[in-house]
Amino acid sequence: MKSFSYTTKGVCSRQIDFDLDGETIHNVKFTGGCNGNLKAISKLTEGQDANVVISILKGNTCGQRDTSCADQFAQALTEALRQA
């Protein structure tokens, strides 16, 4: 299992920490942002395939922003998979 930390851009959360066991997501933690919603994303993605989660969350926006915490997580996962 490998740990990753991603600094977000353009959203309320500041950082996303998570582990990947191959392509399986574990231990997602958002720092900052909408506490309840981000806890839900963490729970819903636990044990899920990173590629499936990317396809679901990529491009999700928040208000008038071009991104969201969910979209930032998709970007973090994409970067992590490239590094792995």
Residue 7 has pLDDT above 90, yes or no: yes
Count Cβ neighbours within 10 Å for each residue of 15-35 and write b for 16 or more, e otherwise.
Answer: ebebebeebebeebebeebbe
Residue 10: other Cβ atoms inside 10 A: 12
What does the pLDDT look like over 32-81, one tens digit per residue? Answer: 999 999 999 999 999 999 999 999 999 999 999 999 999 999 999 999 99
